[in-house]
Structure 1
Amino acid sequence: MPGLHITDHQMRLYMIYRHSKEATVAAAKSGFSRATGYRIEDDPRLPSQKKAPRGRRRPDPLAEVWDGEIVPILKSAPGVRAIAVLDEIRRRHPEISAGIRRTLERRMRTWRALAGPEQDVIFRQEHEPGRFGLSDFTDTSALGITVAGVVLEHRLYHFRLAFSGFEHAHVVLGGESFVALAEGLQNALWVLGGAPREHRSDSLSAAFRNLDCDAKEDLTLRYQALMRHYDMTPTRNNRGVAHENGSIESSHGHLKKALQDALLLRGSRDFGHLDGYRRFVDEIVGRRNANNRKRIELERPMLTPLPRRRTADYEEKIVTVTSSGGFILRRVFYTAPSRLIGHRLRAHLYDNRIECFLGATLMMTLRRGQPVSQSKGGHVVDYHHVIHALRKKPMALNNLVYRDQLFPRPAYARAFEALHQEVGDKRACKLTVELLALAHDRGCEAELSELIDAELDAGRLPDLAFLRERFAPNPASVPEIKVAFVALGSYDELAVVRAVSPTSNGEAVA
């Protein structure tokens, strides 16, 4: 049509039609005149190629500082941000406006494309089914999880198959240790029902940190034994090169975003107990695996069959229960029943617990503790272990090194502080120990703590006599046992029967 510029598309159509049609027909089918067609044949360049580049319409705000100041900055610090360059240039030249930020960003982007340094290239890999599995730990502090109102310091052990995307996550309460890796990896393999031929980790740098040569060699041998047990070839990526583990590093972010979304929908980040949070994580991971069900089922037949049993996923230590009523392991003091004082126990260290054996008999399972700091150890105290001895020496409570950890609930600590202020040290220690003994003897720890809190909130001290009566056994629940006495003469009759009992040949014995 007259007055309209032809487009590249119209010109291409004209050139195609021109192979088989006259100029007039080809021009009509392309939407312009015959004269325009002849002009196109004289100059075959596309309309877009004929346009002269648009010149600058206003002065270049970076003309005076680009070559002399900005380019040297970009060469000496290739990763510097545009906002930092702008702040530095405006500090040197206050007359430059802050509104040139977008201009500077575009100019820096163009310079880096033309003269900037070479960048790393990520080479996408094609994984065959059943070959590659990856393990890594990821920090989850940003989730803000609490258990019974207390912040849960933890991280996740994360396993993933590169081909199908099968995932398994395990809540780790300690650090990145071999024990956490062994337990989480074996849980993942037994849920999956098979093992990949190759296992990739990130060098386990956290597990080997601050260890001497012998300890490092021991962990290396144990890790190799774990790999042999499941017939997997161990590999590791170079330290500090995260993208070599990209098949799981990117999945870390997706998993934590899924947990974050689920927590927002849940409406609370607090869980009543740790097992509830573990089930929550398992449910989210299960949903993600359900989305990859087809690829997982395709990969399962390619996995190596599992051995008949799991291998050890704990660390074994020998400890001695001292006269303090416990033992020290990894700078943490653990209490034990007093009858075990002087005995040597085999302690199996898991990520979240310690199982103590006397010979082959499991004596107790303790919560795994952590040191408070580099210079101060920790305490894991069960008042049931020491209450009998503490009743004999109640004043020991006053300056007990693990007194704060002895109280099973905050109500008992509140009661001790209130009694200490009102009735003095000796009486406070005596009454507090009796409260703990009542909770131990009657199995009423939670109910008793609620009554103590109620009394303290009302401004009254706990009444030990009332509490003992409150939690005393109900007489109606005690069974009435009647003993029927046998007449003594019946024993004489038994003696006569014994005297005339027949022998094996049928004759009576006189």
Structure 2
Amino acid sequence: MLPLLRSDPGLRAITLLGKLQETHPGEFPDSMRRTLERRVSQWRALEGPGKEVFFPQEHLPGAQGLSDFTDMGGLGITITGVPFAHRLYHFVLAFSHWEYACVVDGGESFEALSQGLQNALWQAGGCPREHRTDSLSAAFRNLQEQDDFTVRYAALLEHYGMVGTRNNRGRGHENGSVESSHRHLKEAIDQALMLRGHRDFAERAAYDGFVREVVMRRNRRNAAGFNVEREHLHDLPERRTTDFVEEEARVTRCGTFTVRGILYSAPSRLIGHRLRVRLYNDRLDCYLSGALVHSTQRGTRVPYGRGRALDYRHFIDALKRKPQAFRGLAFRDDLFPREAYRRTWEQLEARLAQREACKLMVGLLELAAHHGVEAILAERLDALLAAGKLPELEQLRHEFAPRQPQCPEVVVETPSAALYDTLLDDEVPV
């Protein structure tokens, strides 16, 4: 075995045992595995090659801040019952371990890094001298030109007076202060979810607030160190810098526009107009002639095909005039705001005539859109489906959107001017 180990020290003991059993059948039983592992380990300690040495670093206050992204898929988070694929942007001050984290449901883009980093710096109240991250080519992979992202990142660092550094590819331990914090933060979030009793959230904003609460509790434990480090942070500039990129998109006659391979909807009044779109990490702001005309949550790419981020409210008035168009609509399934509406449509389509099913479904969506009862109506639809019943639109309208009572007709009788003479004193000449 020694020639094999000397030629390739990476050979494992179980591999060597298999070689011995193949060469000498019956002479080396499996029970020898532990003994062989001890012998190989002793040989590596006496004659094997040297191992990589990790050098612990002394972090000075205000010297270094670290950024990284960490995937949260293993925690099983859902939004209204739908699995929420996302990651966290995570910033840590190396000396005090003060941290900031925010939810990112897209990729490791420049917008996500810029927005997260600036939020962290302004929340901390100052800037460290050095900002360290992993390979920037991975963080900015959504940009088309490598030179472009390098200029953007350099401008971001210059604006805040920081020096940028990166660890070597595949060397996550060189970002150790934030890598170890990833594990501890995810464990803290996981434990908080266990105490909460479930992992479903009514909306994205509720989950964002939940993560902030966990981070704030962790920061309270590091308050003493942060108070020391805060005195060594550089002052912030007068304002934030750009944390978005701009693109142009034309709203088609279908009331949709496409940005970076994702289909969005817009109010029908914008059909035919070319919009200037600002892409942030979490949203899109659309401008027409310098005026903000539409804002929506940023969509997420899908592995195959084109992602969609459509709002049923943009189509409901047009569908009310042409309800039969609902059944064959190309993006029909993306218009259901919650799972209960999709399951209701399946039952309507199976049990009613096409014309009646479309009219009823469009009426339900109109009720949800115009009267702000989307969530409570979804609960009622779930209850009706569980009982094997179909919804009755008029009854639901009467319950969730009752008509306002008419104003009573008020008749005002104008008195004769002569009646005011009775108020005058008889002795006063008229």
Normalised TM-score (structure 2): 0.89
Q: Quick one: which amino acid aligns to residue 225 of structure 2? A: R
Query: Is 1:370 aligned with 2:300?
Result: yes
Name whichever of 201-210 and 425-434 sits farther off: 201-210
1:163 and 2:121 correspond: no
Does 2:397 match 1:468? yes
Q: Does 1:433 align with 2:362?
A: yes
Which of 394, 400, 410 is the equivalent residue of 1:482? 410
| Corresponding residue of 1:29 | none
1:297 match: 227
Counterpart of 1:352?
282
- In the alignment, does 2:156 pair up with 1:230? no
- Shift in CA distance, 264/411, structure 1 to aligned 2, threshold 3 Å: closer
Aligned to 1:99: 31
Assess if the C-alpha contact under 8 Å between 1:335 and 1:380 holds in 2: yes
CA contact (8 A) 1:159 1:167 kept: yes
8 Å CA contact 1:177, 1:204 repeated in 2: no
Contact 2:108 2:140 in 1 (8 A): no
Distance in 1 (alpha carbons) for counterparts of 2:330 and 2:82: 23
Where 2:68 maps in the other structure, the secondary structure is strand
Deviation (angstroms), 1:474:
4.5
Report deviation, 1:139: 1.8
The within-5 A match list for 1:224-373 is 224-373=154-303
In structure 1, what residue type is equivalent to 2:136?
L
Q: Which has the larger radius of gyration?
A: 1
Q: Which amino acid aligns with 1:114?
A: L
Q: 1:78, 1:116 within 8 Å by CA — same for their partners in 2?
A: yes
- Structure 1, 201-210 or 146-155: larger mean CA deviation: 201-210
Q: Partner residue of 1:174?
A: 106
Name which structure has the greater RCO, CA cutoff 8 Å, separation 6+: 2
Q: 2:318 aligns with which of 356, 368, 389?
A: 389
User: Is 1:141 matched with 2:46?
Assistant: no
Match for residue 75 of structure 1? 6
Deviations 1:55-82 (A, max 9, x none): xxxxxxxxxxxxxxx2233234433333
Aligned pair count reads 416
Whether the 8 Å CA contact 2:250–2:274 is kept in 1: the answer is yes
2:17 maps to which of 86, 90, 93: 86
Partner residue of 1:408 out of 334, 337, 340: 337
Q: 2:410 is aligned with what amino acid? A: K
For residues 186 and 388 of structure 2, the distance between their equivalents in structure 1, rounded to whole angstroms, comes to 46
* RMSD of aligned alpha carbons: 2.5
Give the fraction of aligned pairs with identical amino acids, expressed as a percent. Answer: 53
Structure 2: give runs of 5+ residues left out of the alignment: 418-430
Q: Which residue of 1 aligns with 2:352?
A: 423
CA-to-partner distance for each residue in 1:387-434, whole Å, 9 max, x for gaps? Answer: 111122222212212111111122322232222222332332222222
Alignment of 1:123-142 (within 5 A): 123-142=55-74
Check 1:142–1:448 CA distance in 2 against 1; reply closer, same or farther (3 A cut): closer
Q: How much does 1:354 deviate?
A: 1.5
Which letter does structure 2 place at the counterpart of 1:482? V
Q: Distance in 1 between matches of 2:90 and 2:110?
A: 14
The one-letter code of the counterpart of 1:73 is: L
Question: Deviation of residue 230 (structure 1)?
Answer: 0.7
SS in 2 for 1:399: coil
Distance 1:337 1:458, change over 3 A: same
Alignment partners' CA distance in 2, 1:72 and 1:404: 64
CA drift of 1:484 comes to: 4.9
Secondary structure of the corresponding residue to residue 231 of structure 2: helix
Task: Evaluate the alpha carbon distance shift between residue 141 and residue 71 of structure 1 in structure 2; reply closer, same or farther with a 3 A threshold.
Answer: farther
Closer/same/farther in 2, CA of residues 75 and 155 from structure 1, 3 Å limit: farther
Counterpart for residue 508 of structure 1: none
C-alpha displacement of 1:350: 1.8
Whether the 8 Å contact between 2:93 and 2:99 is mirrored in structure 1 is yes
Q: Find 1:192's aligned residue among 124, 132, 145.
A: 124
How far has the Cα of 1:211 moved from its partner? 5.4
Could you tell me how far 1:185 is from its partner in structure 2? 0.6
* Aligned partners of 1:370 and 1:377 also within 8 Å: no
Give distance in 2, aligned partners of 1:416 and 1:332.
Answer: 25
Change (3 A) 1:83 1:248: same
Amino acid at match of 2:3: P
Is the CA contact 1:135–1:158 (under 8 Å) kept in the aligned structure 2? yes
- How has the CA–CA distance of structure 1 residues 447 and 276 changed in structure 2, closer, same or farther, with 3 Å as cutoff? closer
From the superposition, tell whether residues 79 and 256 of structure 1 become closer, same or farther in structure 2 (CA, over 3 Å): farther
